[in-house]
Amino acid sequence: MSKSSAHVASIALSANSEPVAQHLWQTRVRKVWYNAKNNPLLYIGAFIFISLIVMAVFAPWLAPYDPAKMNFAHKLQSPNALHWFGTDNLGRDIFSQILYGARTSLSVGIITVILALVIGLPIGLVAGYVGGKVDGCLMRISDVFLAFPPMLLPICMIAILGPGLLNVMFAIALSWFPWYSRILRAAVISVRNEQYVLSAQAAGVGHLTIMFKHLLPNAMTPLLIQVSMDFGYVILWAAALSFLGLGAVPPTIEWGLMIGNAQSLFLEYWWTAVFPGCAIFVTVLAANLLGDGLRDALDPKFKGRD
């Protein structure tokens, strides 16, 4: 074959690979939208999650009291008309604290998941696409972090770095990213031999273009499902670390810290711990419902399986 004919063939292959990949992506989006319309779990989870975000954003206008203002004359009041969720041992309104605490807890969940994705996504994408020794090396790095028990690595990291929300987010992200890299790696391996990818390779398309334009959009489904379900667990982990005194520190308002401050009061003044705990429960429930709904919409073959 002459150089000119080879050049023409490569142009034809490149031209064919672009619309094929785009068509597959558009078809998948239409299927997802069709499946999502008939999915009550997705609607319920999304409604609760959006409500939590609205509460967090508009907390300064929704909160009836300053969450940090102490009023010892009204300390440890049970739920009543003035203080819907009661007050804590410093006389602070618990309902107002929960609204402001939503800002902290939701921010921690979002930022931590993004950090884990920033670390894990390139590793999984490169490992799945390149394979061979590069794949083995990157997966061994992930195995090092997976070797630690799930909660031990964040505790060790915070013991070194000190308590604080920034350190909590970084520590949890380090223990979470290996799962994302492995999930994406497996998804990339399953699609890297598709015709549109092979056509792009034959046409001389750059590796970065193939990875981010052809592979990543068609391999994100399992990762999106996992991320949506993990969001609630990240908030739960952050709350647990704050409860242990390793996370948020005063004057930061955070649900886990509220429960930690109420642990000596719980038996007599139940509302000081129950309402922050309910806030965490509702958030984790919303994330799980949203994750289940997305799983059924994005991957219908799992619908009804638990």
Residue ranges and CATH numbers for the domains of the chain are 3-65+92-302 (1.10.3720.10)
Q: What is the pLDDT of residue 11?
A: 44
Cβ proximity of 35 and 297 under 8 Å: yes
The whole-angstrom separation of Cα 178 and Cα 20 is 31
Inter-residue contact 292 to 45 (CB < 8 Å): yes
- Specify the pTM: 0.82
Quote the pLDDT of residue 31. Answer: 58
* Residue partners of 62: CB distance under 8 A and separation at least 6: 55, 99
10 Å CB burial of residue 158 (0-12, 13-18, 19+) is buried
CA distance 213 to 233: 30
Q: Are 231 and 109 in contact (CB under 8 A)?
A: yes
Average pLDDT per consecutive 10 residues, the chain (306 residues; last block may be shorter) = 44 49 55 61 86 92 90 88 90 93 92 93 90 88 85 86 89 91 89 77 78 80 85 90 86 90 88 93 90 73 50
pLDDT of 79: 92
pLDDT of residue 115: 94
The reported pLDDT for the residue numbered 53 is 92
Nearest to 254 by CA among 49, 88, 107: 107
Q: Could you tell me if 255 and 279 are in contact, meaning their C-beta atoms sit under 8 angstroms apart?
A: yes
User: How is residue 82 written in tokens?
Assistant: 């003035």
